[in-house]
Amino acid sequence: MDFSLLTSLVTVAVSVFAIMDPPAAIPTLISYVGVLGNSVESIDIGKLVARSVNKASVAILLLLTSFSLFGEYILRAFNISLEALRIAGGVLLMIIAAEMLLSKEKPEEVRRGDFAVVPIATPLIVGPGTMSTLIIYSRVYGPLVTLAGSYIAFAMAYPMLRYSYLVLRYLGPSVLQGLAKFMSIIVASIAVELLISGLRGLTLL
């Protein structure tokens, strides 16, 4: 495999995984499944979580595919330059990183109902930050590389969601919050890189 292609795949996968921030979504997922109490057997917990995560996965993959493959067309439709999108995406990601760092849970408000698609698939996993990042990367690295990288990112996130009840049980909420804070630092770093590249593209740096 070409080294530059491998580097691009790793960049997209790591960035998208960090912005997805699956550790921070685990407490919300578990609370919606209703298995934080001790009244449900672990085998039932596994089935409930698996059913919910598998349903959410279909929506997540559809969203990843749409924004990876059609990001370029979205830019053209609204006549948005890559530099402008990088700056806007950087600002948005910096806000999201600050919210991730300061809040105990993921910043999006959630409501009860059919939670597998909303809020688990979106906006908790594929939120505005993920969407804008996919659009930017589809322009920078190409739609297919972006799509493959986003699939790799979700392949890393899926086991954490699928076995979230075990992760929460053995690691505990405090460890998950610590992982989420670490993810926020990565997201903030990505935001800075986007801002710098956007400003350089406009010859402002």
CB 141 within 8 A of CB 16: no
CA 75 to chain centre: 21
The closest of 128, 127, 134, 162 to 150, measured between CA atoms, is 134
Report pLDDT for 176: 77
Report pLDDT for 128: 81
Say which amino acid occupies 126: V
Report pLDDT for 165: 83
Report pLDDT for 37: 41
Euclidean distance between the first and the last CA atom of the chain, given in angstroms as a whole number: 34
Residues of the chain with pLDDT under 50: 35-43, 107-113
The closest of 87, 110, 103 to 29, measured between CA atoms, is 110
Distance from C-alpha of 197 to C-alpha of 190, rounded to nearest angstrom? 11
Report pLDDT for 186: 87
Percent of the chain surpassing pLDDT 70? 88
Report pLDDT for 10: 95
Report pLDDT for 111: 47
Report pLDDT for 35: 43
Report pLDDT for 114: 61
Peptide bond preceding 27: is omega within 30 degrees of 0, i.e. cis?
no
CB 191 within 8 A of CB 97: yes
Report pLDDT for 106: 52
